[in-house]
Structure 1
Amino acid sequence: MILRALALAAPAVLLAACTNAVEVEPAALPSAASASAWVVYQGAMSASPTASWAPDTVAAGTFLPYRPDSPAITYEPTVVPPGARAEVGIVRNSAGMIVRLTTSGLIPRRSYGAHLHTAPCTAAPADAGPHYQHRKDPKTPSVNPSYANPRNEIWLDFTADASGAATVTSEQRWSFAAGASPRSLVIHELTTRTGAGVAGTAGERAACLTLPTR
């Protein structure tokens, strides 16, 4: 009987030994140093990615056809439907800054271009001015990839999820100068191109959200 009990116990002991010998480590996350200047997160807005998000500048609005003093304007309702929303938050940190755009109510699965521009929104889409640039291109319009790129400008391209929502961030190693911050977010009908002679272009301006003076 003793021998039979030992024989039955042996496989269990071996199995336990094998199990204890294996340590499962969590999957490694990409380091901040390897992150691109243009980081895109797709999906509906939720509490988890914004739980510790405390921006020092926030602008938010619901896109509607132009009316005086409206902070959020849709110029192309078939691209940015009336009632769609956007929020821009800006946080400064020791490395530079993070700009985050959250959207909802857009066309599901559709891709958009988005950038920060130099002037407030008006009835005319072009009045929002060119892209805000950290190092300003001496030539206009700026279509040189040396200046029109996601490291020198704030690009926030995104693809809406099945509900028409998205979240996207731009992480930069520089920050806006006091009194010289961008004044608008412009959503474009196309994603941003990067080639020489067309860098930074993204089709028509479909919507605009005015940002506060900083």
Structure 2
Amino acid sequence: MTTADEPNPLRAARFWRAATALDHLPPDDGAEVAFAGRSNAGKSSAINTLTGQAALARVSKTPGRTQELLFFCLDERRRLVDLPGYGYAATSAARRRDWGETIPAYFAARQCLRGLLLFMDVRHPLQVGDRQLLAIAGELALPVQPVLTKADKLGRGALNSALRSVERALAEYPAVLPALPLSSLNGAGAQALRRQVLAWLAEDAAAG
């Protein structure tokens, strides 16, 4: 996951609290990086890979398992936030409506939010919900790092082709960084993503 000469500060992440509504959020200070993605896009596995912990985020074969905003703290001022997955057809209409309102409101309300990692299955990128999040982030000038998960499912040629296709599609969205591939199976791509997360979290010092 990391090389011997590159420590992983995200390994310090510990579960802190869960929030089901905006009035349950922790104080808006320090720096946060949020993790979003469709249900079953590999978001929980990716969190575990990035933090170097096997079970920090609960991995389930049941899509839509994460139904709250889950906060993981690195220290008193730096946090990772696991957002509810979206796009699972069996989720109730009321729950989908709640997520559709809560997540954009969270983006707009949190001054401490420094960036968003958007996880998409490399074989099925840029679904409707993904595009909706990109549009919302663009309106709020929230930086987004697209992550193509399950990169080990494709050969090198197919993976490069998928990356080029996603890059062309992302050109219409502002504040979006080049997409990066990630394999939670072998950790390929994790270092580049960790560096981006840590760069965003380091903005706390600049902002403060």
Instruction: Sort the TM-score into its range (normalised by shorter chain).
Output: under 0.3
TM-score when normalising by structure 2:
0.27
Structure with the higher fraction of residues in strand conformation: 1
More helix by share: 2
User: Max radius of gyration: which structure?
Assistant: 1
